[in-house]
Chain A
Amino acid sequence: GIQVEQSPPDLILQEGANSTLRCNFSDSVNNLQWFHQNPWGQLINLFYIPSGTKQNGRLSATTVATERYSLLYISSSQTTDSGVYFCAVRNTGTASKLTFGTGTRLQVTL
């Protein structure tokens, strides 16, 4: 099946810093979503971005489907950004499921 790799696995930032999280996938996709899992375990939708670029406040994402990667940018990080960020993809032409990466654990400190 499709493989999804996220990097870095762990990231510690000081408040106000910027960061880039990467998601690589091994096959073509027709759905790619970024999620933030908060400390209570809730998966919060950040972006639905099978291709192109989107921005929402301090967050933006870019997916280059032909090169099989997606990037999530966090600018001016805040302590509330802490948590685990997951990339999840749906492999084109196969089952409906999302395949998740192993996540990037982000800690933002004061």
Chain B
Amino acid sequence: GAGVSQSPSNKVTEKGKDVELRCDPISGHTALYWYRQSLGQGLEFLIYFQGNSAPDKSGLPSDRFSAERTGGSVSTLTIQRTQQEDSAVYLCASSPENSYNEQFFGPGTRLTVL
């Protein structure tokens, strides 16, 4: 079946612009996660959605970052007023039922802030 998909695959933007990154989880998976991978920080958690529960935003690095999940499926990660340190690969993952289960990752969006 189809895996996790993300768009765009690459995004180049200018410092100060806003960007939106999209994630389509595996059909039927109720849990959705955002991570980012950068050279200096490795792979780090950003935010987690589970069903209709309030999201776990504990990993968001600043209030310029926000995410939403509409209809329990597609998620959008928004970065406002982008900075050069936001340059990274943003990875989305989904898992069935709850976070005890295996997480599956999408191909990522490579964000470059000039």
Contact = CB atoms under 8 A, between A and B. Distances in A.
Given A41-B89, A43-B105, A100 B56 contact: no
Interface size class of B (residues with CB under 8 A): 20 to 34
A96 B91 contact: no
Interface of A: 30-31, 33, 35, 40-43, 45, 48, 86, 88, 90, 95-100, 102-103
B65 interface: no
Q: Is chain B's binding surface mostly helix, strand, loop or mixed?
A: strand
A41 B59 contact: no
Interface string B71-114: 00000000000000000010101000011111111011010000
B79 to A, nearest CB: 19
30 contacts: A30-B100, A31-B100, A31-B101, A35-B105, A40-B107, A41-B37, A41-B107, A41-B108, A41-B110, A42-B107, A43-B91, A45-B105, A48-B102, A88-B103, A90-B99, A95-B56, A96-B31, A96-B50, A96-B56, A97-B45, A97-B48, A97-B58, A97-B59, A97-B99, A98-B33, A98-B35, A98-B45, A99-B45, A100-B42, A103-B42
